[in-house]
Amino acid sequence: MNYSCSRYELKCNDCGKRFGNQPLSACPDCLAPLEVAYDLDAVRGIFTRENIAAGPPSIWRYAALLPIPDGFQPDLPVGFTPLIHAKNLGKRIGATNLYVKNDAVCFPTLSFKDRVVSVALANAQRFGFETVGCSSTGNLANSVAAQAARLGIKACILVPADLEAAKILNTQVYGARLVRIDGNYDHVNRLCSQIADEYTWGFVNVNLRPYYAEGSKTVGYEIAEKLGWKLPDNVVVPMAGGSLIRKIRKAFQELIYLGLVEEKHVRFFGAQATGCSPIATAVKQGTEDVQPQKPNTIARSLAIGNPADGPAAAKMIRDSGGWAEDVSDVEIVSGMQELAETEGIFTETAGGVTTAVTARLYAHGRILPDEITVACITGNGLKTTDSLVGHYAEERAIRPRLADFGDYLRELEGAQELAVAGDIHGN
């Protein structure tokens, strides 16, 4: 089960030993995580602005720097989501060059996990796995279930028992086997590692993890391309396991090395919920010693108390001159509302984390107003509607008559005047 490829192979982050291509996530010698290493010079003539522009409007336009089998025929047009100039949000929080990378509309399952899953499943097929699985806080479950259905691979997905209803349904509907585990994500993840040792299954975020994680690089490529092949000054990224932020940096470094963008020092900022902030806490304390936490936050897609890539993420954030912040559940909901009200983008709780943290970074002067800054929105608000329950009153229904509508408007205006007069928070 070891496949050769001239473009890339697995390499130990610590000892540098190389392993070809196989379903393996850690170095047997030093136990450090493996990463996909590329022969960048070999793709220099292929991975060009022109070739990319001529490619499909999906992540597969960057195929030359993704760890997929030679001759791989992409099945689905994943990714290539909008990058929006967030002028209105910017006005509210004091930013003139703020952009939002919007994976809330990622194809097929409305989160950035679609990117990593499509790369993982390409490798699951190459390695001949008939069943794939994952431990998930929800978005990953949705994406594995949907893409496995399309590819005709069996899926067995393990989630914490208390997951949001919409994320559970959005896994079951694809016909996947969903196993609810009595515990939090860290319990589920540990169990998956044990299952991967015992059964010959491809776990996208366990034994296929090095390939899987590379899919996140496409967020970085898309940011650069959609900025007109420029790098931003700052990137704000939500952190669960800590992988996405590192892979965006890897993408930027590859683009610099290959000359697709000019060299630039990009600062990376991490966003977490206060109720699960092991990486942000480490960054604030100036350490890479990430202390596990027991998660307690509505941002369940970020609720990983013992993040696999936490220490590396903390280090790279500090090395870049960036910072990390964490926000309360109340601020998370406000962040979701703020992004919706200003930019018309409805994001899930994790996006509320990113938005609220971004606002704070501007408020504290850690990001300056005119710096080009990209905030990464990674999932859709329709998956976490529970978090908004009770935030909007159900108003009485009115009869379908013009006179009733007029009365209703007058009542509203009266209420607003009263509210303004009494300095009460109105509508």
Residues 187-226 that bind a second copy (CB under 8 A): 187-188, 190-191, 194-195, 198
Within 59-98, the residues that bind a second copy by CB under 8 A are: 76-77, 80-82, 84, 88
Q: Rule CB under 8 A: say whether 3 interacts with a second copy.
A: no
Among 36, 181, 219, 332, contact with a second copy (rule: CB under 8 A): 181
Q: Report the distance separating Cα 213 and Cα 216, nearest Å.
A: 6
Q: Are 303 and 295 in contact (CB under 8 A)?
A: yes
Among 172, 253, 287, 334, contact with a second copy (rule: CB under 8 A): 172
75 exposure class (CB count in 10 Å sphere: 0-12, 13-18, 19+): middle
Within 320-359, the residues that bind a second copy by CB under 8 A are: 336-337, 340-346
What DSSP line would sit under 132-156, residue for residue?
EEEE-SSHHHHHHHHHHHHHT-EEE
Nearer to a second copy, 178 or 282 (CB): 178
Count of CB atoms situated within 10 Å of the CB of 306: 18
C-beta of 4: minimal distance to a second copy in Å?
A: 30
365 exposure class (CB count in 10 Å sphere: 0-12, 13-18, 19+): exposed
Nearer to a second copy, 265 or 396 (CB): 396
Q: Rule CB under 8 A: say whether 110 interacts with a second copy.
A: yes
Please state at what angle helix 139-151 crosses helix 113-126, rounded to 10 degrees.
40
C-beta of 402: minimal distance to a second copy in Å?
A: 5
Q: Rule CB under 8 A: say whether 405 interacts with a second copy.
A: yes
CA nearest to 120, candidates 246, 196, 206, 39 = 206
Compute how many residues bind a second copy; rule: CB under 8 A. Answer: 75
37 bridge partner residues: 9
C-beta of 182: minimal distance to a second copy in Å?
A: 4
Per-residue x/- track, 359-398, a second copy (CB under 8 A): ---------------------xxxx-x--x---x-xxxxx
C-beta of 346: minimal distance to a second copy in Å?
A: 6
